Structure 1
Amino acid sequence: MDATQIDFYSRLAHAIAVQFGSNCEVVIHDLEMTDPGRSIVAIENGHVTGRTVGAGPSHVVLEAVKAGRLHKLDDRLAYLTKTDDGRILRSSTVFIRDEDGTPIGILSINYDITLISAAADTLSALTGIGPNDDPTGDPEPIVKNVADLLDDLIEQSVALVGKPAALMNKEERVRAISYLNDTGAFLITKSGPKVCKYFGISKYTLYSYLDEAKSSDES
């Protein structure tokens, strides 16, 4: 994004944060940054997730950078996320687009509903009624840096396969590597060596698995 766009969305983020108070974090990501690990160009109430300007991206940011012009990206509204200290947030992600419709930035809102959720649970326990479990599943984690994000993506790839890396066969490793590629894990600096070490493979084997996963996707 250019300086004028960053200025406008920074002021918009400030206005939203002032409107809804200190529990409302508003983040502006620049998807055109050369280093996706430093995508945050403006943030209000960063204490909610512990992030600052220049901090690392979320899963949504990596997916957006990975997708580029190849896929249509939709805004995501009112979904649950969680911080590394266990607080629950109600989040919305809106893509900022250029004249061609290509995502160039993200406006993200994260509202801390931990106390509200606790109050709802207390009322439910006292009255015997309350909302059903969240149908969307577990909240997505919000990480503070790219190292934590890569670790989380690796854990998700292992969970997808359903067995430890040491017990995976070739087909299962390809599936895990394909998931990491699809989620943008290899956009993270020095991710390749870490993935190779985790799965016990060489860099040449990694490239081979990536080619195999790409061929499978195309077919």
Structure 2
Amino acid sequence: MADIMNEYRNLVEFLGKVLPKNCEVALQDVRAGRNCITAIANGHISGRKEGSPLTNLAVKFINEGTWKDNDFITDYVGCTKEKKQLRSSTYFIKESGKLLGMLCINIDDSSYFEISRMLFSLVGIPHESAASQEADMVKDSRNMEPESFYEDIEDLTELLINEYFSGKNHVPSDRLNQTEKMDIVKRLEEKGAFMVKGAVGKVAKRLSMSDASMYRYLSRIEKEKSKQP
């Protein structure tokens, strides 16, 4: 039986050639054992590549079953590691009632905003008006959380460690206590980091833990989740 995802991989390559270079096209395969980007065009937009992990929103769409009642979600806000905002949309790839993947398009509108600011300046309209227009264009009326893009598991782990210690004294990973490590692992688990093959070993190394200890942490998290109503 033909793998439908192969057709979408071809589509990613095609769209990457016909769409402007400010449009990133990414195929996220969410089937067991994959859970990562398997094809991408214009990856310079988000800094990602094949093998990069699922985004926070992709994991949320899966966990909340968003794909069951929607064929696609359009025009929400994405945010790169450099804090650049993108206009993002996702198409859910389904077969026989199962979610196979997501075809995502992320558009960098910054050049259009720059042209808009120049035009506003030429006709004497205050800069604040251009800034207001830009804010309205990226505002999501559905109050969805911004989509965050990660290059790899190490990138995601580093980001969450920095977030965890924001406003605190940053402690080297080999000096983290058990509670701190558990909190970081919980945040990674919530973002679907461990859905990617090989992630456990990479995160364990970054947190100066053994793979066995990491699996014990994940087992505790699963037990805690199973007790929740």
TM-score between the two structures when normalised by the length of structure 1? 0.67
Q: Secondary structure at the match of 1:106?
A: strand
Q: Secondary structure at the match of 1:213?
A: helix
* Paired letter, 2:85: I
Contact between 1:81 and 1:139, CA under 8 Å: does it hold in 2? yes
Contact between 2:56 and 2:147, CA under 8 Å: does it hold in 1? no
Residues of 1 paired with 2:43 and 2:73: CA distance? Answer: 20
Residue 184 of structure 1 is matched in structure 2 by 192
Residue 30 of structure 1 is matched in structure 2 by 29
Residues of 1 paired with 2:16 and 2:207: CA distance? Answer: 44
Contact between 1:62 and 1:185, CA under 8 Å: does it hold in 2? no
Map 1:153-168 onto structure 2 (within 5 A).
153-156=160-163, 158=164, 164=170
* Paired letter, 1:151: E
Ranges in structure 1 where 5+ consecutive residues have no aligned partner: none
2:38 to 33, 37, 40: 40
Contact between 2:52 and 2:152, CA under 8 Å: does it hold in 1? yes
* Paired letter, 1:111: I
Q: Secondary structure at the match of 1:207?
A: helix
Residues of 2 paired with 1:89 and 1:180: CA distance? Answer: 23
Residues of 2 paired with 1:15 and 1:204: CA distance? Answer: 43
Residue 73 of structure 1 is matched in structure 2 by 66
Residue 109 of structure 1 is matched in structure 2 by 105
Map 1:51-130 onto structure 2 (within 5 A).
54-60=50-56, 63=59, 67=62, 71-74=64-67, 75-84=72-81, 87-100=84-97, 102-120=98-116, 123=120, 126-129=126-129, 130=132
Contact between 1:25 and 1:44, CA under 8 Å: does it hold in 2? yes
Contact between 2:8 and 2:27, CA under 8 Å: does it hold in 1? no
Alignment RMSD (CA, Å):
4.2
Ranges in structure 2 where 5+ consecutive residues have no aligned partner: none
Contact between 1:165 and 1:199, CA under 8 Å: does it hold in 2? no
1:211 to 215, 219, 225: 219
Residues of 1 paired with 2:43 and 2:217: CA distance? Answer: 39
Q: Secondary structure at the match of 2:155?
A: helix
**Cα gap change, 1:155 to 1:94, in 2 (>3 Å):** farther
Residues of 1 paired with 2:48 and 2:188: CA distance? Answer: 24
Q: Say how many residue pairs are matched.
A: 210
What is the CA-CA distance between 1:107 and the residue it aligns to? 0.8
**Cα gap change, 1:196 to 1:50, in 2 (>3 Å):** closer
Q: How big is each residue's C-alpha offset from its partner over 1:93-147, in whole Å with a ceiling of 9 and x where there is no partner? A: 22211112x2101110111111223345664982543245857699544334444
Residues of 2 paired with 1:32 and 1:2: CA distance? Answer: 15
Contact between 1:17 and 1:24, CA under 8 Å: does it hold in 2? no
Residues of 1 paired with 2:152 and 2:92: CA distance? Answer: 21
Q: How big is each residue's C-alpha offset from its partner over 1:11-35, in whole Å with a ceiling of 9 and x where there is no partner? A: 48735973x5332222223323744
**Cα gap change, 1:154 to 1:88, in 2 (>3 Å):** same
* Paired letter, 2:26: V
What is the CA-CA distance between 1:46 and the residue it aligns to? 4.2
What is the CA-CA distance between 1:184 and the residue it aligns to? 2.1
TM-score between the two structures when normalised by the length of structure 2? 0.65
Residues of 2 paired with 1:78 and 1:162: CA distance? Answer: 35
**Cα gap change, 1:127 to 1:150, in 2 (>3 Å):** closer
Contact between 1:160 and 1:176, CA under 8 Å: does it hold in 2? no
